[in-house]
Amino acid sequence: MLVQARARQPRTSRAHAALIEQAVNRYAPIIWGITRRQFQAHLAAVLEHLRPHLKLLTLEQRASGDPEVDYIATLISAVHSKGLEGMGGVIQDVADAVARQQGFLQTDPRYATIVDYTQRILSDDLSAYWQGLQDPTTMAKRIVDLQRQGLGYQETSRRVAATYGAEFYRSERLVRSAYNTSSNYAHYRDLLEAGYTSARWLTSEDSRVRHPHGSQRWDHRSADGQIRKLGEPFVVTGELLLFPGDRSMGASIGNVINCRCTLIGAD
């Protein structure tokens, strides 16, 4: 078991990042296609509900607070929205891909464990993604800003729809983050079962590795090469992670979103 696992362990950061981007290229368009259809229906219902109210706005920019935005956000919140539907197939496909990438056969009990973990991560991320798209305050700000430009209802509706239609990057970010977390969880378990006692954090070694600049404080570049006993967390920007993408110890979203780092055995 140990010899087998260590024999297949040659895991490079660049190969790991390439597998993530393959997953993004394959699954993000599917997720976005399903999401966009449902969101367009929700947005149409929201705009129709707002039609008689928009002409009543005073549309004055306030120095503190913005009652017009608050008013529109309250109206948007009243529009019923279903949960995101039709994602079962893609969630299963992503989960199977992570388990296969790790080299597990479906008859291996670990396969089911990895699939279950990935399904939970992706389901949670999809729920947050759907809620973020529908955020009433964000939607209200966009609508009020357009109204303040003197645009009519039809043009406001067109531009709001176009703005949301350009947010494919959200699906890419979702797949990248969930796939990285799940893949590293699988590899972390594999290292434990293979008898490794230590692990090394590896970045993808390119210009996209996060490092402090401007208002961005997350620093994975400094974590590159950090070694910890398996079971002891890495310390990354002052937060604890058992592996890159780990969320079990309260890591902030900024420390895991879009991450492509991985880990290898360090014995």
Tens digit of pLDDT for each residue in 162-209?
988 888 999 999 999 999 999 999 999 999 989 999 999 999 988 889
Checking if the pLDDT of 213 tops 90, the result is no
Task: Quote the tokens at residue 70.
Answer: 């608050």
Contact 11, 262 (CB under 8 A): yes
Q: How confident is the model at residue 58 (pLDDT cuts 50, 70, 90)?
A: low
pLDDT of residue 3: 37
pLDDT of residue 61: 53
Checking if the pLDDT of 67 tops 70, the result is yes
Checking if the pLDDT of 266 tops 60, the result is yes
Percent of the chain whose pLDDT exceeds 70: 93
Tell me the residue length of the chain: 267
Q: Where are the domains of the chain?
A: 11-195, 197-267
Average pLDDT of the residues in 149-156: 87
pLDDT of residue 60: 56
